Structure 1
Amino acid sequence: MYQETQEPPLFLYFFIFSSVITTITGTTTISPGTATLYASNTTQSWSSPNKTFSLRFIPLHPPQSSSPASFIAAIIYSGGSLAIWSVGHGATVDSGGSLRFLSAGNLRLVNGSGSIVWDSRTSNMGVSSAMLHDNGNLVLSNDTGSVWSSFDNPIDTIVPSQNFTIGMVLRSGLYSFSVLRYGNLTLKWDDSVPYWEQGLELNSSMSRVNFSSPVLGLQSVGILQLSDPNLIAPVLVAYSNDYNEGSDVFRVLKLDGDGNLRIYSSKRGSGIVTVNWVAVADQCEVFGYCGNNAICSYNDSNPICGCPSQNFVMVDPNDSRKGCKRKVRLEDCAGKVAMLQVDNARFLTYPPQFLINPEIFFIGISACCGNCLSSSSCFASTSLSDGTGLCYIKTGNFLSGYQNLAQPSTSYIKVCGPLVPNSPPNSLENARGWKHQKIHSWILAIVILSTFFGFLAFEVGLWLWCCRNSSGFGGFAAQYLLLEYASGAPVHFSYKELHKSTKGFKEKLGDGGAGSVYRGVLANQTVVAVKQLEEGTIEQSEKDFRMEVSTIISTHHMNLVRLIGFCSEGHHRLLVYEFMKNGSLDNFLFVDEQVLSWAYRFNIALGAARGLTYLHEECRNCIVHCDVKPANILLDENYNAKVSDFGLAKLLSPMDHRHRNLTKSVRGARGYLAPEWLANLPVTFKFDVYSYGMVLLEIVSGRRNFEISEETSGKRCTIWAYEEFEKGNIMGVIDRRLVSQGVNLEEAKRVLLASFWCIQEEPSERPTMGKVVQMLEGVIDIDRPPVPKSIIAGFSNGINGSVSAISTIPTSLGPTSSPSSSLLASAGFFYKGP
């Protein structure tokens, strides 16, 4: 439907010339008035001392191009494979152009006619030398130091050892990238529409940081990080997929002409450049990617641009990214203005567009369309058919559209009637002028009926032949049978599709229950997590496996990771989940480089509790998770908690997971298994409550619940935490990395009390997850929890020879015998049992 002619990224042209680099002989330090680079001689260059970088002219167009010869002067990495900086922001000159280091101390780019294209404006500053350093920085210096450098004047790329600060801007066409005063990173279109923003002020320990001068830097190993004098340590922003791989790999952060920010990697001398991180995963989400009035969609895995209908025409037929224009302008309409419907499409709207000019409403689809039609300032509208009733009225003069069959939205755009939608492929209406031919109705009826019965006979014959001769056809039959059991519509992927989307299961995200998880990208550019279940873990028949998968897919909650689809092909069993950008909770709790603020931790604890409550009490087919741990609590881009791997306990065993037959179902890790499992007792929903209680303790303390160290006085973390809590030392239990931040002590006490209730040895003494949610929200009073028997045993026996002063506490406490009663009463916490 849509076609696009997109010119490849500029740096790809440089590969062609990777074998023709030659340097000017002599010293790498250049004196004013002694050196000139000529566009006509692309083998001439100024090089860094170790020959890693060179400044030279590069033809803008490949040799076979018919375009007039034009050249840019750029700093190239290792053999001409990657451009990191260009003179005059990619300004071009003809074959007579040159780059001169004048005696006045300034660099000047001139055209063949002698006209000045760009100047460094460093004349009369006493510049005595120019040098291209080994880190890629071109520096003009005088006797006191640097007066100008390419690092201080970035174009579209940041390299390792280069500091990108406030006031600096990367630009590529209409797109720009910058660091904001409060620590955020932002991508903008035309300096007016911020379509991507990395909210670092909301990220972990930065929530209360008052930034003074944030600096963005790219480490050579592939880590993009933000530093500031008010930060204890730099904060991770992103990392390359090939992080820390290869000592001779060069990485850059580049803003491309398509508006996306990427980390590129290139092995020295290879001439091969690969993408290993991208800011906007869905290219069609980049505002203005297809130009004005155009619609972005996908052809296989590539974004393509097209016009909404035949009421529009391409601005440039040779470049679909330049957008579309109406064949008849609205002000020139001979008849009435009409609203053209575009299904599964939306016109992108990003703040502050609707904050400056309010254009968001809660109305129905027809009203959304009608309001736009009646308004002279409205050009298009979008209705989200996702249950929210949101309506976006587009009053701006630039419309950036995105169409995807998976989008629950409908858009309308104003055109001059009559409406002329785009024709479907092979349409009889538009093929060879058949619309002018008259066909008798009885002939048409015979053709239709004959085609129908012929197709029906073919289908029946194919079905009978396959059922008789192909055992593999049972998979297709089972897929249709699944519709009888599923309330949703699970997607059945082939193994070949998932193998391709994961690049052969190359990028491993981690090891989960019963299998490994890999990153994948579907044909529509949706990023997913693919769990490859180990062979031998699935004991069900094909039909039972699909039924269990359909049960999991029909389980929807904002705090549960969504299962998109599955693969059941031969011995291959795979599950396809939505991708969680920030990974699992354990990557933040137990790693010093990434610290979550208390506010985030509390919200994560509450979100995980709500997700488990839904599984236990609210969904149609209630589920015991059986493997609750930080590794199975995933975080989305906003650090919202989503519980993953639910339903696998029953999926991995044909036996009812609510009873004892859980030899393979319970996959719980060390420290999270409830006592009833070890005692060979029935497993119920209270099994998850115990595991969740251990997670709560880890969220507060930042320690593994079974950890033993000098800081815990040689005792298990659970025993040590309870002792400190009994002493009233709440801050002593809280993660030491949060000491410098604000911690809500009332919330921390509630979380600890809920944790001690959850880890009671007797399942009947543990609260339900619904009660736990109420505890955390503070809507019920929390009574003093009994001392968990496992903790009493630790007190009595001591850990590594260390016996607590509380070891004299009796194993059966009366209502008022706990030494904590006065502490808890004074804190005002009461909970009347499970």
Structure 2
Amino acid sequence: MLKFSLFLLHFLFTISSSSTIIPLPSTLRASDTNQSWSSPNSSFSLSFVAITPSSFVLAITYNAGDVIVWSATNNATGDALVVDSGGSLNLLNNGALRLVNGSGPVVWDSDTADTGVSHASIDDSGNFRLLDNQSFSLWSSFENPTDTLVPSQNFTFGKILRSGFYSLSVDRSGNLSLKWNGTVEYWNLGFNSSINGNLSSPRFMLRSNGILVGLDSSFPGGMVNMAFSTDYGEGNGVFRFLRMDGDGNLRIYSISGNDGAGNMTPTWAAVTDQCRVFGFCGDMGVCRYGDSNPVCGCPSQNFEPVDVNDGRKGCRRKVELEDCPGDVSVLQLEHTEFLTYPPEVSEQTFIVGIVACRSNCLQSDSCIASTLVADGSGFCYMKTPGFVSGYQGEVVPSTSFVKVCGQAVPNPPLYRDTSGKDKDSRLRVMVVVVVVLAILLALVAIMIGFWCWFYRGSEKSGHISAKYELVDYASGAPVKFSYKELQQSTKGFSEKLGEGGFGVVYKGTLANRMVVAVKQLEGIEQGEMQFRMEVATISSTHHLNLVRLVGFCSEGRHRLLVYEFLRHGSLDKFLFTLKESLNWEKRFNIALGTARGITYLHEECRDCIIHCDIKPENILLDEVDTAKVSDFGLAKLMNPKDTKYLSLASIRGTRGYLAPEWLANLPVTSKCDVYSYGMVLLEIVSGRRNFEVSPETDSKKFSLWAYSEFEKGNVEAIVDKRLEEVDSEQVVRAILVSFWCIQEQPTQRPTMGKVVQMLEGVVDIERPPAPKPVAEVWNGGATMTVDSNASALSTNATSTRAPSSSPSFMNIRVSPPRSQRGTVKESS
């Protein structure tokens, strides 16, 4: 009997399958640092970890204490529970697992007393469990996560990762979100934006190869969303884990088997721009970048840090607003945004100009700050007392205002140091700096004197002065980058995103961790000053449906433009490449958004901007599939002489989208963009290239075949077969608008403003005439042809304008369909 008992005890402490068994009762003591409950392969251990010589936390660690993947925490705050050297973890005979302090009180309890627990185990995946006789789990560390997830650990609805004020959770719609204080959602990764309602089992899991994957059993295929670490799939000896960090960011970390203790490398971050984490710099704190790292400061010298040793604790007014009635002023902060996320966006949002945004806040007793977003929306966000989180930087296009007592005293160009360094040390440094600067200034003055003596009045000096003269444009001007900076940010132009008629586009990451698209322009012959003036014109356009220009480079022969990076890429891959296409609602919103963006370029800018290359490849989609038009304004950069007549050699359009007047050498107007947009609109409906011919289209160009099918009432033949549900009225409206846009005569085409009204259903639409093929007789004998790769163009057309026959678009009418297929009657 004794031998059997010893054998059973030995068995319980050895490997059972891939887990180590811990019998009842068992104890771990904080005073014994060598004591632990380890997994069979010793990768994971449950033990006490010393944070000071006399304080300890109970934790599951990886690789002999390198990484804490679970700890006993306060469920409300997420803070780790600390015990003294007399503390212990007791697995009792009644199945309770309790953490007690040396003085005796229970600090933490698993709440499993008298539930049938027969033993505990820890396996090679790092999961510590309390099990019954049938090995059914009654409590586990995987089901009670703290701030970290390891591979194979499910993260489902109801679970939360916490770190200070920040938390990560999954809701029933399958949305993985980061929140500040449980209320302000500043980041999310949804399963699928088209999913509405509850999913049956939404969950996320980090795989060992570095892929964060979203899963749901009710979704076709099970897998619905993924995020990749930069080293995913590399090496068998790499351990990766997901952690909710105390700075509010969610990151994937990697540890190589060859690394020493603490060598963790972040390989993915949810928020690529750390300053966009709500509350990162505390209440009334403003985040900006010093070198490449975010630093915290105060909005102005009317504020002071709450803690000079920790800038992340925020700022406070030196004099509170209620202490200076009648003496309140407003400080204007350029390139500054007070972050606003739902549910804050409510009645405190207005559509006003910059003056009204400032004055409304000044006159409102409940407003302490406001932000005007320079994205073309005109939104002004009013911030009320509670919590205000700021972001300032050259790439931030917004203007903000903050109330202060008395006279507003702005900050110097850089924030004051709030790290708590010794004042005498800083004074000595300042003295040395002043002396060095004085010497340098003296040397510079001497050199300038010699230069003026030898070169004054020469043509060379005038040329150099003009070359480096800076033109100061309005606020929101693009940032000028050096070629070396962009070469470094793109890793030597190694990650190619695409290539078009204007040059190659590369992915890059700026010093502030903003991801951008860098376009290397080809064929630019202008001087630096003219190029910068054209770039300034492009950057002055701000609209929700236009890609934002961040900056530029004009250095020697190098001409580059830096744009915001749009994660979902261009529209063409969703229409022609991917098996899973966009649904009709998204397609119609993309068509409408694109039309609004082009309307802004044609009719709402100070100078009309003709795009000249509207096509799906130049329509980009952001995270929520909002359409943004790119490459606008580049045609003028390519043709600096600003002539209304462009030669055939200068054509940079794309096959299938060129308006007939391009090929006939007629004046190029905004109606060229209307023609191209019509072709794109037809492709959005059909999911097919308009220049493709096939037996299905009777060997006709698709646009001509589509019109004949529409005349027959066969709308279904035109619509993309991948679309399961469509709004028949919107489909008919879009098809009619596309036929109006691709009319041969420019005068017959509507303006883009009218196109928006037609798509929105504001005006009625009449039946359009049949479109004519591009390669046909023009004005009695001239023919135009385009070769297969659209690189060579030929014409024998004369340069006479075709006769005008412009219909009235004020009474355009959409007639009701004859059947459920969306057939259109002719208007009377």
AA aligned to 2:679 is: M
Match of 1:562 among 543, 548, 567: 548
AA aligned to 1:86 is: S
Contact 1:780 1:831 in 2 (8 A): no
Matched, 1:287 2:278: yes
Match of 1:749 among 732, 741, 752: 732
**Pair 1:241–1:659, CA change in 2 (3 A):** farther
Map of 1:494-513 to 2, 5 A cutoff? Answer: 494-505=482-493, 507-513=495-501
Structure of greater relative contact order (alpha carbons < 8 Å, 6+ residues apart): 1
**Pair 1:275–1:711, CA change in 2 (3 A):** farther
Map of 1:176-191 to 2, 5 A cutoff? Answer: 176-191=167-182
Report what 2:435 is aligned to.
none
Give the secondary-structure state (helix, strand or coil) at the position aligned to 2:281: coil
Give the secondary-structure state (helix, strand or coil) at the position aligned to 2:469: helix
> Cα deviations across residues 351-384 of structure 1 (Å, max 9, x unaligned)?
43475x9697978466445545xx4xx5833364
Contact 1:532 1:574 in 2 (8 A): yes
Map of 1:99-248 to 2, 5 A cutoff? Answer: 99-113=89-103, 115-142=105-132, 143=134, 145-197=136-188, 203=193, 205-206=194-195, 208=196, 211-219=199-207, 222-228=210-216, 230-233=218-221, 237=225, 239-240=227-228, 242=230, 244-246=232-234, 248=236
Identical pairs, percent: 52
**Pair 1:603–1:173, CA change in 2 (3 A):** same
Match of 1:702 among 681, 687, 693: 687
Report what 1:734 is aligned to.
719
**Distance in 2 (alpha carbons) for counterparts of 1:643 and 1:329:** 46
> Cα deviations across residues 698-748 of structure 1 (Å, max 9, x unaligned)?
322334446689998999865775676455443454344431x4x211111
Report what 2:760 is aligned to.
777
**Distance in 2 (alpha carbons) for counterparts of 1:301 and 1:472:** 37
Give the secondary-structure state (helix, strand or coil) at the position aligned to 2:382: strand
Map of 1:116-515 to 2, 5 A cutoff? Answer: 116-142=106-132, 143=134, 145-197=136-188, 203=193, 205-206=194-195, 208=196, 211-219=199-207, 222-228=210-216, 230-233=218-221, 237=225, 239-240=227-228, 242=230, 244-246=232-234, 248=236, 250-270=239-259, 272-307=263-298, 314-325=305-316, 338-339=327-328, 341-344=330-333, 347-353=338-344, 355=346, 364=356, 367-368=359-360, 370-371=362-363, 375=365, 378=366, 380-382=368-370, 384=372, 388=378, 390=380, 392=382, 394-396=384-386, 398-404=387-393, 406=396, 408-413=398-403, 477-480=466-469, 489-505=477-493, 507-515=495-503
Contact 1:775 1:782 in 2 (8 A): no
Report what 2:45 is aligned to.
55
Give how far 1:176 is off: 1.6
Report what 2:559 is aligned to.
573
Contact 1:649 1:665 in 2 (8 A): no
Give how far 1:643 is off: 0.8
Give how far 1:758 is off: 4.0
Contact 2:594 2:619 in 1 (8 A): yes
AA aligned to 1:149 is: S
**Distance in 2 (alpha carbons) for counterparts of 1:491 and 1:477:** 20
AA aligned to 1:116 is: V
Contact 1:188 1:196 in 2 (8 A): yes
Contact 2:331 2:404 in 1 (8 A): no
**Pair 1:165–1:750, CA change in 2 (3 A):** same
Report what 2:585 is aligned to.
599
**Pair 1:726–1:358, CA change in 2 (3 A):** closer
Report what 1:84 is aligned to.
69
AA aligned to 1:380 is: I
| RMSD (Å), alpha carbons | 4.9
Give the secondary-structure state (helix, strand or coil) at the position aligned to 1:177: strand
Contact 2:45 2:64 in 1 (8 A): no
AA aligned to 1:319 is: D
Report what 2:783 is aligned to.
none
AA aligned to 2:687 is: G
**Distance in 2 (alpha carbons) for counterparts of 1:714 and 1:140:** 70
Give the secondary-structure state (helix, strand or coil) at the position aligned to 2:679: helix
**Pair 1:33–1:480, CA change in 2 (3 A):** same
AA aligned to 2:248 is: G
Give how far 1:173 is off: 0.8
AA aligned to 1:91 is: L
Which consecutive residues of structure 1, in runs of 5 or more, have no partner in the other structure?
A: 1-23, 62-66, 433-450, 794-820
Give how far 1:563 is off: 1.9
Give the secondary-structure state (helix, strand or coil) at the position aligned to 1:651: helix
Give the secondary-structure state (helix, strand or coil) at the position aligned to 2:516: strand
Give how far 1:574 is off: 1.3
TM-score of the two chains, using structure 1 as the length reference: 0.73
**Pair 1:82–1:599, CA change in 2 (3 A):** farther
Give the secondary-structure state (helix, strand or coil) at the position aligned to 2:159: coil
Which consecutive residues of structure 2, in runs of 5 or more, have no partner in the other structure?
A: 1-12, 417-422, 425-439, 778-814
> Cα deviations across residues 128-157 of structure 1 (Å, max 9, x unaligned)?
444444444333332052222222212223
Match of 1:530 among 518, 523, 532: 518
**Distance in 1 (alpha carbons) for counterparts of 2:40 and 2:692:** 51
TM-score of the two chains, using structure 2 as the length reference: 0.74
**Pair 1:49–1:569, CA change in 2 (3 A):** farther
Give how far 1:774 is off: 3.9
Matched, 1:550 2:550: no
**Distance in 1 (alpha carbons) for counterparts of 2:15 and 2:259:** 26
Report what 2:628 is aligned to.
642
Report what 2:10 is aligned to.
none
AA aligned to 2:485 is: E
Give how far 1:113 is off: 4.6
Matched, 1:588 2:561: no
Aligned residues: 738
**Pair 1:327–1:544, CA change in 2 (3 A):** closer
Contact 1:339 1:412 in 2 (8 A): no
